[in-house]
Amino acid sequence: MERAGFLERCKFDALIALAFEHHLAIAKNIPLENLIDWFLDIAPKGLIEFVPKEDETIKIMLSFRKDIFEEYTEDNFKKILLKKAKIIKINNIENSLRKIYEYEKIIYLHIPCLDTIRKNFIQ
């Protein structure tokens, strides 16, 4: 019998993703939207560190490859996160351009009768 996947077996209360997202986005070409979806699937609350392109670590990473990451900006990161979660707090890291975003996932309830009312009566 095959085991269920990681996310099916584990439910976490919170996530701490420090110095992590830029490695997946820049080194592994994973779009920010996919990363944020994955983080929110892992836990409904958490901390995600955003590392801007001006950071020395990313400058080094990009020195080995072409910068094809036009969407990798803090504004885009924040926009995507806000579509799916409430930003509780943004913490600036001292002596750095990095920021830690504290989030709480927005949970949408699907209530069929409300969907019918919206569809038929609310224009």
3-state SS string for 93-120: CCCCCCEEEEEEECCCCCCHHHHHHHHH
**Gap between the terminal Cα atoms of the chain:** 50
Q: Where are the domains of the chain?
A: 8-121
SS3 call for 34: helix
Please write the tens of the pLDDT for every residue from 64-90. Answer: 999 999 999 999 999 999 999 999 999
SS3 call for 14: strand
Q: List Cα–Cα distances, 24 to 3, 17, 33, 85, 123, in angstroms.
A: 25, 11, 12, 20, 42
**pLDDT tier at 109 (50, 70, 90 boundaries)?**
low
Claim: this prediction has a pTM higher than 0.85: no
- The residue type found at 35 is L
Please write the tens of the pLDDT for every residue from 13-64. Answer: 999 999 899 999 999 999 999 999 999 999 999 999 999 999 999 999 999 9
